[in-house]
Structure 1
Amino acid sequence: MMNWHIEKAKNEQKTVKLNDIYLYSKYNPQRDVEKFMTTEVDTTNKKFILVGLGLGYHLDYLVEHLENIEVQYILLDEQEKEVYLEHNTKKYLQLPNVHAFKSVEAFNEQAQIIIPQSFLRAIGHNHPLFEFIEDIKIRQVSYRRFKEQMIENFSENIKLFTPLLKITTSKKAALVASGPSLNNTISWLQKHQQEFDIYCVGSALKVLLAHQIMPTAVFMTDAQPTMLEQIDMRYNGILYFLSTANYQAVSEHPGEKQILFQKGFTRAEKFAKQYEQPLFETGGSVATTTFSYIEWLGYKELYLFGQDLGFSEMQTHAMGSTSGKEIKKYNQLLDVVANDHTIIRTTPNLLSYKRWFDQAFSKTTMKIFNTSEKGAKLKNTTFFDTTLKS
C-alpha cells in the first residue's frame, strides 16, 4: 500500500505527499496546478484521462474551465479515492461525465492523457501501471518539445507525396540499427548481405557504407536538423521518411524518397485517409518505425543487427554511427537482461522502445532472430550467434 500524507501548504491550502514525494507545490498547490494545466490541456479536445486524483485539483480545473467534456480518472491505489473524498468537497466524481478508468485495454487513443510528472515519480517503477504511463509521458514530452518543427516538416514533406507501393521479395529481411553490437556483427552481414533485404536506420548508414554494404532502404523519422548528419552522398537508394522527419535532411538525399504516414499525428492521419495510404505505428524511434514497415511488407524472417536497447559499457551506439554518445548520468540508468543472460544497463527511453518491441514481437507472425549477444533480450526472438555461423 502506498503512503499518503496530507499537509498544509504555505498559503494554508491542502497539499499531499505520496511515498514522500509532494504531488503539488508546498507553497500554492492550486496555482501550481493551474499553471501546469494552462500549458498542458488541449482545449480543442473533448475527452481526457487523468492519471491520479490526488486531492482533485486537476479534475477541478477540467470541470471548471472546459465545457461538454468527458473525464476518466485512473486511481493510483485503493486508498486514493478515500483521500480524495475526505479532502475535496466539490463532489465532481458524481457528475455524469466523470468516470473511473476501466482498464488499459479500454484505453481511448482520442483522449488527452494528463500525467503530472510528480504523480509518475511518486508511484515508482514497481507500480503495475508505471510502464504504461511512463511510455505515454515520454512520447508526450518528445512531441511537445518538437511540435512546431514537426508541423513545419509535415507541410514541406507532403510536397513530395507519392503513393506507397507494396513490394515483396523472397529474401530474408534485416533491420540494422546502430547499437554497439553492430561492431561485432557487421563483418558477418557484409559476407552474407546478398541473402537479405537490408533496412537500415539512418544513424547506421555510414557504418554499413564503410563495410561496403549497400542497404535496400534507409529510414529517417526524427524532426531535428541533426538528421542532416545521416545523409551520405555515397547512398542514392530509396529513403523512407516519416511525414514529420526533418525536411531539410530529406531534401538533401540524392536518391528516391518515399513518405510514410504515422498513427498518432492528426495531420498525417487525415492526409493518409484522404489518399488511402497505410498508417504505421512508430513506437517512438526510427527502429520501431522500420519494423512496422517491414512487417507491413509481409516477410517471413527478420534478423536484427545492432538492436541492443542497452549497453554493457558506457558507449550507447556503434563506432562510426551518427548517434553515438557516452553515458554520463549514471543515476538514470536501469538494469535489463541481455541475450547472454547477463545484466546490462539501459535508459528510460531505450526501455520504452524495448517494451514496444516486446509487445509488437509477441503479435507478429515473423520469425525473429537477434544477433546482439549483449543486447536486451526481446520477447519472441531467438539469439543468432554470428560467430558460430559460416
Structure 2
Amino acid sequence: MREHAMILTDNRNVLRMKDRELLNIISEWDLQQPTGQVIVEQAKTGVPTIKIVQDGKTQYLQSKYDPQREAQRFAGKFAEESINYVLFVGIGTAYHIEAFIEDHPDVKFAIYEPNEEVLHAYLSNFRMDKLPVRNLLKLFTGMDQEQVTVEVQQLLAQSNNVLKIITLPVYEKIYGDQVNSILEKALEAIKHKHSSLATNVAFQKRWTINSIKNFPTVLQTPNILHDIDRSAFEGKPAIIVAAGPSLNEEFENLRYIKEHGLAYIFSVGSAINALIEQGIYPDAACTYDPTELNQIVFAKLKEKDIKEIPLIFGSSVGYETLVDYPGNLFHMLTNQDTISPNYLEHSDQINVVSDAPSIAVVTFQLLAKLGCAQIILVGQNLAYQDNRRYAEGIQYDHVQNELSEIEQKNTMLVKDVYGNSVQTNEGFIRMRQQIEMYISHYRDIKVFNTTKHGAHIEGSVFVELKSMLEQNLKENVVKDIQIDNSKNYNLLYIKDRIIQMERNKKQLERNLQLAFNILRRMNSAVKSKQTNELDQMFNQLDDQINSIRINHYQSAFIEPMLRVHQERMIELTREVRYEKNLLKKGERIAHIFMNYILDCKSHIQSVSPYVKEMHDEIVRLISKEV
C-alpha cells in the first residue's frame, strides 16, 4: 500500500458525475499529510481492511482476519426483510454494503460516513464500481447537524418516508452518541416539518377565510391585550383549566376558588362543558381552533343562553364559533391572521399570540402578556388516564372519550408528575414541548402543575390544587375587567385600506396575466427549441413574480392559502436554478410557475366574495360610527 493514497481515478470519475462538491471536499485530503488515525492494511485473507486509532486505542472497522465473511454474516441479518430504501451509516471497507446488495439487488441506497478521513481512505483503496452506483442516491460526510438534516430530509422525501437505517456495528461503539444524536435531531427536525406541513395542508384555507369572516367582529370587540385595564391581572394568579381526565378530581376546589375570587379561572377547549355541568362559570373561556367543529364545544353554552362567561377568541378561530355567542366577546390577534396586519393602523405595535398545537399554550401566552405572576395548570394531563381523553361531562359525537384498541396500541410512555410512566401520544408530546418552551421563556412566572397523574411538564412545579388553596391562594384578587374604549381601531384608516386593497387586487390580476403570457411564450420557445430569447423571458418572469409577491392583496388573501404549494415551488426553483440546459430549464420553469399562476387566479375567484362581504360590512359599520 502507498503511505499516502490518492483517490482512485475511477472513483474520482464517479464522484465527478454524482457529487462534484463532495469530490472537492475529499480531494483536499490528497494534499494533507496522513494523521495516522486511519490506516489501511491487509487482513489475514489478503484483502484490505481499515483500522482507526482513537484515544491511543486501535479499532478495526471490520474484521482483521476475514472482513468479507464478517460482512456477509452482518448483511444476512437483513436478508429476509423487504427493503427498498436504505441509509448506511459508516462506509468502512463497504464489504457489508456489497454483501447487503447481493441480497437486495434493486435497493436504492445512500451512505453517510461521519469521518472524512475514513471516506478518503475508502475512495483511495476500494473501487466504488463494486457497488451498483446507478442505485446510489447520495454519499455524504461530516458531523454538521444542519447538513445531515438536509440530506436525511431529501432521502426521506425520495423514499416516501420509508427509509431503513443500518449502522456499521463498530460505529455504534466509536461514534454512537455523536451519530445517534445527529440522526435523532435530523429526524426530529423533519418530524416537526412534516407536522407543520400537515397543519398547513389542513388549515391554510380555513385560517384565511376565518380571519376574513371574523374581521368585522374584531373591529367591534375589545382587544384583550390592548383595550382593557391590565392592572387587574398584573401580579395575580390565574388558572388554566383543561379538559383532561384529572379535572374530575378538582371541581370542588375550583368551585371554592371561584366563589372566593382566589384566582382568575380561564377554561380552554372542552373544559367549558365540564365546568358548566358542575355549575362553575370560569372568568373567561378561550378558543382559537380554526375548524368548523370548534363550534360544537360551545353548543351547550349557546343552548343554555349563558351570558355570564366572556369568550376570548383568536382572530383566526372557526368563524362559526362566534355566531350567536350570548356573552361578551374579546379578541386576540393570532399570527395566522394575515388580514388584520394589512388593515389595522400601526399593526406592528399590536401584541400577537402565536399559533400552537393547543389552546392551553395560546392561553399561557395570553396570561404571560397580561402580567400574571402565577399560572396554575388544572386538568392538563397531556396523557391518557384509564384510556380516557376527557373529564366527565364532555361527550361528542365525532370523538369517543375512551380510546379505541388501535389508539391504545399507538400510545407512548412518558414520565408523569410522580416519576412513573403514563400513556400519551405524539400530539400531546408536541403540546407539552410548546408549554415547556414558553415556561422557559417567561422565567419570572411561577408555573404550578396541579394535574394528578398528568405528564411531567419541565419548568413547572407539581403541587396538588388542595395544597395550593392551603398555602398560596388565600385572598380575593379577581376584579371586573375595565374596558378602555379610547383604544379602539382607527376605522377611517381601515376605510382607506379597503380602497387601496381593491386597487391592489386589480394590479395583481394584471401581473398574473402578464406572467401567464410570458409562460405561454416560454412554452412555445421550448417546444420549437428557440433558446435565444429564453434568458430574457426568465428575467421578465422574475419581474412579474416579484411584483406578485409584494402585492398586499396577494400577501393578505392568496399567499396564506397557498403555503404548501409555495413552499414546494421554492424548493423546485432552487433545484432548477443550476440547470445549464436552457431548454430543460425553460420547460421546468414553465411547468412550476404555470401551476402557481393558475392556482393564484383560482384562489382570487374563490376568496373574492368573502372579501367583498367583509368590505361591505366594514363600510356599513363605519357609516354608523360617523
Question: TM-score, normalising length from structure 1?
Answer: 0.69
* Contact 2:383 2:425 (C-alpha < 8 Å) held by counterparts: yes
Partner of 2:323: 251
Q: Residues 260 and 345 from structure 1, CA distance in 2 versus in 1: closer, same or farther, beyond 3 angstroms?
A: same
| 1:13-68 alpha-carbon deviations (Å, 9 max, x no partner) | xx63248xxxxxx9x999xxxxxxxxxxxxxxxxxxxxxxx86xxxxxxxxxxxxx
* Contact 2:239 2:375 (C-alpha < 8 Å) held by counterparts: yes
**Number of aligned pairs?**
320
SS at match of 1:372: coil
User: Could you tell me how far 1:115 is from its partner in structure 2?
Assistant: 7.3
1:161 aligns with 2:240: no
Q: Residues 272 and 350 from structure 1, CA distance in 2 versus in 1: closer, same or farther, beyond 3 angstroms?
A: farther
| 1:187-208 alpha-carbon deviations (Å, 9 max, x no partner) | 1111122111111113111211
Q: Residues 148 and 386 from structure 1, CA distance in 2 versus in 1: closer, same or farther, beyond 3 angstroms?
A: same
Partner of 1:297: 370
1:363 aligns with 2:462: no
Q: Let me know the Cα RMSD of the aligned residues.
A: 4.3
Partner of 1:10: none
User: Could you tell me how far 1:133 is from its partner in structure 2?
Assistant: 3.2
1:238 aligns with 2:283: no
Partner of 1:349: 427
2 CA distance for matches of 1:293 and 1:203? 18
User: Could you tell me how far 1:265 is from its partner in structure 2?
Assistant: 5.4
2 CA distance for matches of 1:221 and 1:159? 17
Partner of 1:22: none
* Contact 1:171 1:195 (C-alpha < 8 Å) held by counterparts: no
* Contact 2:87 2:163 (C-alpha < 8 Å) held by counterparts: no
Q: Residues 135 and 229 from structure 1, CA distance in 2 versus in 1: closer, same or farther, beyond 3 angstroms?
A: same
User: Could you tell me how far 1:156 is from its partner in structure 2?
Assistant: 0.2
Partner of 2:237: 172
5 Å matches for 1:1-390? 16-18=85-87, 78=114, 101=146, 116=157, 118-119=160-161, 127-162=184-219, 164=223, 165=226, 166=228, 167-169=230-232, 170-193=235-258, 194-231=261-298, 232=301, 233-263=305-335, 266-267=338-339, 270=342, 275=347, 276-321=349-394, 325-328=401-404, 329-364=407-442, 365-388=444-467, 389-390=469-470
SS at match of 2:211: helix
| 1:217-273 alpha-carbon deviations (Å, 9 max, x no partner) | 111111222222222132443212122211011123112223322235544655578
Moved over 4 A (4+): 86-91, 120-126, 264-274, 387-390
1 CA distance for matches of 2:148 and 2:266? 36
1 CA distance for matches of 2:156 and 2:362? 25
Give 1 or 2: higher strand fraction.
1
User: Could you tell me how far 1:103 is from its partner in structure 2?
Assistant: 10
1 CA distance for matches of 2:86 and 2:451? 43
* Contact 2:307 2:328 (C-alpha < 8 Å) held by counterparts: no
2 CA distance for matches of 1:89 and 1:175? 53
User: Could you tell me how far 1:143 is from its partner in structure 2?
Assistant: 2.4
Q: Residues 144 and 339 from structure 1, CA distance in 2 versus in 1: closer, same or farther, beyond 3 angstroms?
A: same
Structure 2 counterpart of 1:168, which letter?
Answer: S
SS at match of 2:294: helix
SS at match of 2:231: coil
* Contact 1:172 1:196 (C-alpha < 8 Å) held by counterparts: yes
SS at match of 2:448: strand
| 1:115-172 alpha-carbon deviations (Å, 9 max, x no partner) | 7494487679981344443233223212212322222211101111246225232531
Structure 1 counterpart of 2:412, which letter?
Answer: L
Structure 2 counterpart of 1:159, which letter?
Answer: P
2 CA distance for matches of 1:238 and 1:325? 27
| 1:325-380 alpha-carbon deviations (Å, 9 max, x no partner) | 22222232111111011111111111111111122112212001111120010111
* Contact 2:448 2:462 (C-alpha < 8 Å) held by counterparts: yes
Q: Residues 341 and 133 from structure 1, CA distance in 2 versus in 1: closer, same or farther, beyond 3 angstroms?
A: same
2 CA distance for matches of 1:277 and 1:115? 40
SS at match of 2:245: coil
Structure 2 counterpart of 1:290, which letter?
Answer: T
Q: Residues 89 and 316 from structure 1, CA distance in 2 versus in 1: closer, same or farther, beyond 3 angstroms?
A: closer
SS at match of 2:250: helix
- Identify which range, 133-142 or 213-222, moves more after superposition: 133-142
1 CA distance for matches of 2:437 and 2:217? 33
1 CA distance for matches of 2:327 and 2:425? 34
1 CA distance for matches of 2:288 and 2:466? 32
Structure 1 counterpart of 2:326, which letter?
Answer: P
User: Could you tell me how far 1:274 is from its partner in structure 2?
Assistant: 5.1
Q: Residues 206 and 90 from structure 1, CA distance in 2 versus in 1: closer, same or farther, beyond 3 angstroms?
A: closer
Q: Residues 77 and 291 from structure 1, CA distance in 2 versus in 1: closer, same or farther, beyond 3 angstroms?
A: farther
2 CA distance for matches of 1:235 and 1:330? 39
1 CA distance for matches of 2:112 and 2:420? 33
Q: Residues 128 and 198 from structure 1, CA distance in 2 versus in 1: closer, same or farther, beyond 3 angstroms?
A: same
Q: Residues 373 and 237 from structure 1, CA distance in 2 versus in 1: closer, same or farther, beyond 3 angstroms?
A: closer
1 CA distance for matches of 2:436 and 2:330? 28
- Identify which range, 136-145 or 148-157, moves more after superposition: 136-145
Structure 2 unaligned regions, length at least 5: 1-74, 76-83, 89-103, 120-127, 166-179, 471-626
Q: Residues 203 and 122 from structure 1, CA distance in 2 versus in 1: closer, same or farther, beyond 3 angstroms?
A: farther
* Contact 2:86 2:107 (C-alpha < 8 Å) held by counterparts: no
Report the structure number with the largest CA radius of gyration. Answer: 2
Question: TM-score, normalising length from structure 2?
Answer: 0.44
Structure 2 counterpart of 1:178, which letter?
Answer: A
Give 1 or 2: higher helix fraction.
2
2 CA distance for matches of 1:177 and 1:378? 14
2 CA distance for matches of 1:291 and 1:218? 13
The percentage of aligned residue pairs carrying the same residue is: 20
2 CA distance for matches of 1:114 and 1:244? 35
* Contact 2:207 2:337 (C-alpha < 8 Å) held by counterparts: no
